[in-house]
Structure 1
Amino acid sequence: MKFSLKEKIAIVTGGGSGIGKAISLALAGQGAVVHVLELNSDNANATVKEIENNGGKAIAHGCDVSDQKDVQNVLGSINNTIDILVNNAGIAHVGNIEGTEESDMDRIYNVNIKGVYNCMYAVISKMKEKGGVILNMASIASSVGIKDRFAYSMSKGAVLTMTYSIAKDYLEYGIRCNSISPARIHTPFVDGFINKNYPGKEAEMFENLSKTQPIGRMGKPEEVGNLALYLCSDEASFITGTDFPIDGGFIKLNG
């Protein structure tokens, strides 16, 4: 079976909703045992239940990826060798530099950069023993300018360059490291953002945001999940140190 992950042990951070949930479902659907790491334990449990209802295997873990001790405790409790790490957990911030307080920078750094570092740091020594796959969630903001996304762009630029660094440093150990750069994906976060900031204009704003992708719509979490599945599978064994935009043409076709 192509894209089989049978008997693989996978970690997905932020796997309780949106893109992370879609990735968790995709990996479990191909036979991986998925450990869902989430700050929100209820969301993690809901993802696990859905995976189990579909015949898959998954385990929920409450975890704050910004806390290194918490990450090490959780990942250390997984006795099996970890084959796949998907660093998906992240938070957003809207604002240019004048609209970004020091506390905003610290909050974004702690989750989007330090959180990725913490998880990679916790698994890398074990992965060196027999190889593995690390997949980081970057963003179109990693490589092109996005208006009013100063702190977020800073963090996702760091995710991209950390990906390149890990890929080069651990190539000899059979560890592949890649990243995915989505444009706007239709998740509950997007709906919440629109409802909060544009009350009464939800439909109009949804259409406007959809049209920022040249293809004319937002992406679906399942589409990102399918790309993640491929990159984590043996079918992608010749791919490392590469960023994969999934953006409806945003990077190359805008402007």
Structure 2
Amino acid sequence: MLALLAAAAVLPLAACGTLDDGPVPDGYYRVQSGDTLYSIARKHRRSVRELARWNSLSDADRIEVGQVIRVVPAAGAAASAGGGRASGGSGGPAAVKDTPRVDDSGPARPPASRIRLQWPADGKVVARYAPPASKGLRIDVPAGGVVRAAAAGRAIHVGNLRGYGMLVIVKHDDDWLTVYGNLDKPSVSEDSQVAAGQEVGRMGAGGGELHFEVRAGGKPVDPSGYLPSRG
């Protein structure tokens, strides 16, 4: 669970409360139909982790239409270092610090389910799982190479994120996520259903290193233990 810190509020708003149909104070945003915490974070150039902390949200999946969300830190509170929106695409994510809907703090809980994955892309593995510097695999994908979903699920995040470049996250069930970072462009939209093996993104004309993570119960695990061996 994200470490929850109580943020001082300018007005006495409950973290998960709503205001009647009155105006929203400066520094806050009222949730609209179709919003997710991730789309709100991108719109206001904040990180999901910042919004979760400022609003004491224990579950980033649970926001409601009409809910008022703090999108600017309280007076005297500094924004987290992982804050701003990434500007783009191709730098290798050597040290990853902020993935939507995941939590690196505390011990991992054993997942209740099991998962079998397929390789997300062709190419040589150039960096293996070695946290904290590498929380997944880095695969050297050829120019214009296709990146595919390692299993069926739902795309819960599509967009840029610092440390990951262009990123797609696929949620497979309550226990498992896969993360596809450093894409040139995505091929799926947020909240769309994704089939196993379906294209979720492409690498650029010059190729690039796909960052691939597997998360069990919100924690990174070694993807090699869930992928078939390559001949």
TM-score of the alignment, normalized to the shorter chain, above 0.5: no
TM-score (norm 1): 0.24
Report which of the two has the higher share of helix: 1
